[in-house]
Structure 1
Amino acid sequence: MSLLDLSWRNIKRNFRLYTIYFISMLVGVVIYFTFSALMFNEDVVNAIQNKENYQMMIFLASILVFLFIVFFILYANSFFMKQRKKEFGMFLLYGMKERQVATMVFFETVFLSAISVTSGILIGGLLSKFFGAVLMNLMRYDNDISFAFPMEAIVLTILLFAFLIGIITIQSYFSVRRVQLVELFHAKEKMDKPFQFSFGFAILSIILIASSYYMITLARDTDLWKDHFNEILIATTVALIIGTYLFFRQFSGWILQKMSLRKNYFTGNNMLWISSLRFSIRGNAVNFTFNSLLSGIVIFTVGFIAVDYAIKSEVVKMEYPNHFAFSKQNDETQKQIEQIMNDSHPIIGHETITGIQTEKIPNRNRFFNYPEYYTEEFYLFPESQLNAIVDLRGVGKKVDLKDNEAIVLTRGVDQPTKYNESKHQITVLENYTFRIVEKIRYPLLSIPTNPNGDTGIQPSVLIIPDEVFHNLKEDYSLLSFEIYKIKDPKTSNDVSREIYDIVMKTKGAYYSAYIDMYSRDTESSSLILFSVAFLAVIALFALGSIIYFKQLREATEQREHYAILRKMGVRNKEIKRIIRKQLLFVFLPPLILGLLHSWYFLYYTALAVIKELPSLTMIIFSVMGLYVLTYLIFYVSSTSIYFRIINEKNT
């Protein structure tokens, strides 16, 4: 019999074990090809406004996806090889050489990889239409996406997974070399002895976790984080990791130890599942810690990116409220620009605002929290023109100023403030002094933009009474700006490019368009959310697989113990209850601690900061709910698999 025939027979004989490995490889191929296919799908690429930015981001994200898949598949292969140690030992005992066993494993890997890559590309191509539609929906585009199997994506997937097969072969070879013949004579590993737990370390775990949470709550209200950010971040992270480890190593073990001393310990099936957990808690502590921390990271990352995506469009709408705003052009050029707009995006409203540019005013700290974000010179506009823009936009509050009162307009980085004291004054144009009565977040002239997504410095704007402006304009030169409101501005990229090229022929001209930042921010945030969601799916699948592999190994080792229980008269119904309670302890504590970790991070980095959008809390709870649902599926399937394994007869 050749090694090739032997490899094929091994696959058929150990079908269940190979199925686990095959599914791991198949899922990896499906996820990677689906993701990379979107990079080359012509329908998707044509719909994207910033094509170069899209392809660069999707390429970098595909690398991260592949690295995650490599880690996951290598872990699955490591488990797969450990499960076959005795089989390899038998082959070596019968006279096969290590090189021959490694060659046999290589043939098996090639068989499984060829099937998984072929099937994965087929399934991934079918799924790419669905995920392409999801991406278009996230970007709020209406383009239809067709089924596609881009040749570039196929070649890239085959090459990368061929490289992965090479790594797997090397890993498998060293696994075969580590096999000792003496392992054949050990039916099972020695069971861990019950671990003695320390009440002091148990309390220390709670103190460390609570201290980490407390430090997170201080991030916004004290200067401690600002002055010692790196040190505090490292200390908080280390305390959280150590606290989580001690929680599972000591606190949970201490709880189980106390439960074993209660009077009802010998009632029902308590003794069976509690004693089993006490024996395995030492070996599971690292696994529980990893699951909890990974759960927290996944929930936090997806939740934070989802929040960022949700607020992005609102932020752009507030910070770039002008569909088009630019320096006044001559009559002929103005008609040309309006014709460009009306050809595809009819003009809904139009206002011309006229202001006066002041000299540079370097000391602006009294009015701006971040003066470096604003121009040193101010632009003075009359209150009537601000009120006209409020009518044009349909958003904002009209103002009514008297005498020497003035209002400073700011962007999102500055908080709105009302001033009741007369000391908040500003002198402009050499001898004109205004009393600042309010600072409001309402960009009259937003940050300058261009169709490539680059930005300039926010114009500093001062709103003054009409009478005062009327007197000033007689002595100073005026600057005029055209502000337009158009229909469906979210699809006006091409219009923006044409208008920008015309306006910027004049050196130093001002130009700003809502679509320039909307397309950049919406597309980038959508891509980040889409990529993170893919990574989260892989992480969830990897986490579920790790738990699954762990339970598979433990169930195989415990098979004889449950056989003894059956001989003692314990029925299958009772055994199922024992398994459910035992696995509930495996799933529930890491999940709860992971949810707590992520909630503290999300609340104090997002929800407590952005109070204008109460819907963000619902987004966070939705992400957590999906994660809990996924965990529940893992739990139910694991209990079913565990019960099936212990019912199998030893071979």
Structure 2
Amino acid sequence: MSLVDLSWRNVRRNFRLYTIYFISMLVGVVIYFTFSSLMYNEDVVTAIQNKDNYGKIIFIASIIVFLFIVFFILYANSFFMKQRKKEFGMYLLYGMKERQVATMVFFETLFLSAISVSSGILIGGFLSKFFGMVLMNLMNYNDDISFAFPQEAIISTILLFTLLIGIITIQSYLNVRRVQLVELFHAKEKMDKPLKFSMPFAILSILLIVMSYYTITIAGDTNIWNDYFKEALIATTVSLIVGTYLFFRQFSGWVLQKMSQSKNYFKGNKMLWVSSLRFSIRGNTVNFTFNSLISAIVIFAVGFIAVDYAMKGEVVKKEFPNHFAFSTQDDETQKHIDKMMNESHPIIGHETITGIQTEKISNRKTFFSYPEYYTEEFYLFPESQLNAIVDLRGVGEKVDVEGVEAIVLTRGIDEPTKYESHQPEITVLDDNTFHVVEKIRYPLLSIPTNPGGDTGPQPSVLVISDEAFEHVKENRTLSSFEIYQIKDPKTSNDVSRKIYDIVMKTEGAYYSAYIDMYSIDTESSSLILFSVAFFAVIALFALGSVIYFKQLREATEEREHYAILRKIGVGDKEIKRIIRKQLLFVFLPPLILGLLHSWYLLYYTVILVIKDLPSLTTIIFSVMGLYVLTYLIFYVSSTSIYYKIINEKNRR
């Protein structure tokens, strides 16, 4: 029998063991191809406005996705190899060389990879449509996404998984070569030794975690983080890591030890699952610690990016309240623009405002914290026109100024201020002096934009009384602007380009559109959110699998123990209860600690800081809910597989 025949026979005869490994590879192919195909999907690329930015983000993200998959599949292969050590020992005993065993593993991996890559590409092609639609939905685009199997994505998937096959073969060869023949036969007989747990260390773990939480909670109340940021960050991180490690190494072991010393220890099935957990604490500590910390980082990252995504939409809405605003055109051009706009996005409101442009005002720092973001010249507008725009938008408060009173309009970077005791003066147009009574966040003319995403300094605006404006405008050149509100402005990219081309034929004309900044900000934040969410799914799947594979290996090693339990009269229902309780203790602590870590990070860095986002808590609880659901699936699956494994030998 050739090595190829032997490899194929192994795959067919050990279907259950190979199925776990095959599913790991299949999931890896599906995830990578689904993600990479988005980079080359013509429907997606056509819909994206900033194609260069999209290409860079997706390319970097696809590399990170692949690295995650490499880690996951190599871990699965490591589990797979440990399960087969006794089998490899038999081959070596029968005279096969280590190189031949590695060659056999190579052929097995090749068979599984060929099936998983072809199946994964097929499944990934269908899933790419779904994820493409999700991405378009995040960007608020209505473009249809078709099923696609881009040639570039297929080639890159095959090449990368060919590289992975080579890495797996080397890993398998080293694993076989590193272990002696005697160890191969006794590999499954090795068991973790029970640790002696210390109450002081158990208490220390809780104190370290509480201390790290406390330093996070005081971030906004003291100057410690401002004055000693690096030191505070290092201290918090170290105490959280060490506390988490000791929690699983000492505190959980101490709890189990106390449970074993309780009076009801021998009642029911407590002795059976508690004793088993005490022996596995040593081997599970690192996995539990890693899972809790990485899960906390993943939940925090997704929650933070999701909130940032939601906030950017609100910020753009506030900073660019005019759906379209541009310098007034001649009558014929104005009618053409109105017609063009109505054909695609019906006009729901329109106002023409007229102002006076002043000379350059050098001392603008009195009114603006960041004067470089505003034009040196001011525009004077009467209060009645600002109030008309408030009515048009349906947002904001009307103003009332008298005599030489004036109001400065600013953007979000400047704090609103009321000047009561000392009112700063501003002199414009030779000898017209006004007293600034208030500074409010309300852009009348928002930042100039273009469909490519470039911006200019925002027009500085001074609102004065109608009487003062009538007096000042005598013998002055007036500047008029058209302000439009339209239906469904989030899909007005095409009409924005057309209007921009018409308006900017006049040198020095003003143009600003909500969609120009919304599309750029939304695309970038959507891509980041989409990528981070994708990473989170992979990370949680990989982390859950680490626990999953560990439990499957322990199930294989404990089949003899459960066989003894059956012989002394323990039934199937009781064994299932033991397994559920044992695995609950394995999955629940990392879940709870990961949620606690992420909650403190999100609550004190996001929730308390951002208070005016209605969907904030919904976003964060949704992220945490998905995390809990993922672990629940792994828990239920593990209990089912665990029971089947310990039952196998009994049924033969």
Output aligned runs, 1:132-143, within 5 Å: 132-143=132-143
The TM-score normalised by the length of structure 1 is 0.94
Output aligned runs, 1:153-552, within 5 Å: 153-186=153-186, 188-331=188-331, 333-358=333-358, 367-419=367-419, 421-429=420-428, 432-474=432-474, 477-552=477-552
Number of the residue aligned with 1:29: 29
Relative to 1, partners in 2 of residues 1:257 and 1:443: Cα closer, same or farther, differing over 3 Å?
A: same
Q: Which moved more, 1:224-233 or 1:584-593?
A: 224-233
Counterpart Cα distance in 1 of 2:211 and 2:508: 54
CA contact (8 A) 2:89 2:185 kept: no
- The alpha-carbon deviation at position 155 of structure 1 amounts to 1.6
The TM-score normalised by the length of structure 2 is 0.94
Report SS of the residue matched to 1:321.
coil
Number of the residue aligned with 1:627: 627
Deviations, residues 216-264 of structure 1 (Å, cap 9, x unaligned) = 2233344433343333323322221122111111222222222222222
Report SS of the residue matched to 1:264.
coil
Counterpart Cα distance in 1 of 2:225 and 2:369: 19
CA contact (8 A) 1:412 1:441 kept: yes
- The alpha-carbon deviation at position 102 of structure 1 amounts to 1.4
Counterpart Cα distance in 1 of 2:251 and 2:10: 44
CA contact (8 A) 1:425 1:433 kept: no
Letter in 2 for 1:309: Y
Deviations, residues 348-369 of structure 1 (Å, cap 9, x unaligned) = 3322223344455565556445
CA contact (8 A) 1:587 1:635 kept: yes
Counterpart Cα distance in 1 of 2:372 and 2:236: 32
Report SS of the residue matched to 2:22.
helix
RMSD (CA atoms): 2.4
Counterpart Cα distance in 2 of 1:357 and 1:456: 17
Q: Which moved more, 1:431-440 or 1:447-456?
A: 431-440
CA contact (8 A) 2:85 2:185 kept: no
Q: Which moved more, 1:432-441 or 1:482-491?
A: 432-441
Relative to 1, partners in 2 of residues 1:474 and 1:26: Cα closer, same or farther, differing over 3 Å?
A: same
Report SS of the residue matched to 2:191.
coil
Residue 8 of structure 1 pairs with residue 22 of structure 2: no
Residue 642 of structure 1 pairs with residue 642 of structure 2: yes
Report SS of the residue matched to 2:546.
helix
Report SS of the residue matched to 1:463.
strand
CA contact (8 A) 1:89 1:179 kept: no
Counterpart Cα distance in 2 of 1:476 and 1:221: 53
Relative to 1, partners in 2 of residues 1:472 and 1:296: Cα closer, same or farther, differing over 3 Å?
A: same
Report SS of the residue matched to 1:265.
coil
- The alpha-carbon deviation at position 374 of structure 1 amounts to 3.5
- The alpha-carbon deviation at position 321 of structure 1 amounts to 0.9
Relative to 1, partners in 2 of residues 1:189 and 1:507: Cα closer, same or farther, differing over 3 Å?
A: farther
Letter in 2 for 1:540: L
Report SS of the residue matched to 1:614.
coil
Deviations, residues 466-511 of structure 1 (Å, cap 9, x unaligned) = 2222222337554332222233322221222222233334444332
Residue 566 of structure 1 pairs with residue 566 of structure 2: yes
- The alpha-carbon deviation at position 134 of structure 1 amounts to 2.3
Q: Which moved more, 1:328-337 or 1:520-529?
A: 328-337
CA contact (8 A) 2:98 2:176 kept: yes
Count the aligned residue pairs.
Answer: 650
Counterpart Cα distance in 2 of 1:631 and 1:507: 61
Q: Which stretches in structure 2 are left out of the alignment for 5+ residues?
A: none
Deviations, residues 380-407 of structure 1 (Å, cap 9, x unaligned) = 3221111111122122211112233333
CA contact (8 A) 2:325 2:483 kept: yes
Output aligned runs, 1:51-200, within 5 Å: 51-186=51-186, 188-200=188-200
Q: Which moved more, 1:399-408 or 1:442-451?
A: 399-408
Letter in 1 for 2:22: F
CA contact (8 A) 2:426 2:436 kept: no
- The alpha-carbon deviation at position 546 of structure 1 amounts to 1.1
Among all aligned residue pairs of Structure 1 and Structure 2, give the percentage whose two residues are the same amino acid.
82
Letter in 1 for 2:304: F
- The alpha-carbon deviation at position 343 of structure 1 amounts to 4.3
Counterpart Cα distance in 2 of 1:260 and 1:376: 77
Relative to 1, partners in 2 of residues 1:133 and 1:577: Cα closer, same or farther, differing over 3 Å?
A: same
Counterpart Cα distance in 1 of 2:410 and 2:203: 50
Deviations, residues 410-440 of structure 1 (Å, cap 9, x unaligned) = 2233444444x32142323266554444333
Q: Which moved more, 1:334-343 or 1:393-402?
A: 334-343
- The alpha-carbon deviation at position 6 of structure 1 amounts to 0.9
Counterpart Cα distance in 1 of 2:223 and 2:462: 32
Counterpart Cα distance in 1 of 2:558 and 2:520: 56
Letter in 2 for 1:39: M
Q: Which moved more, 1:368-377 or 1:132-141?
A: 368-377
Counterpart Cα distance in 2 of 1:207 and 1:406: 57
CA contact (8 A) 2:88 2:184 kept: no
Relative to 1, partners in 2 of residues 1:558 and 1:363: Cα closer, same or farther, differing over 3 Å?
A: farther
Counterpart Cα distance in 1 of 2:51 and 2:265: 65
Counterpart Cα distance in 2 of 1:399 and 1:377: 22
Q: Which moved more, 1:283-292 or 1:219-228?
A: 219-228
- The alpha-carbon deviation at position 558 of structure 1 amounts to 1.5
Report SS of the residue matched to 2:649.
coil
Deviations, residues 29-73 of structure 1 (Å, cap 9, x unaligned) = 111112222222222233333333333322222222122111111
Letter in 2 for 1:111: F
Counterpart Cα distance in 1 of 2:458 and 2:226: 26
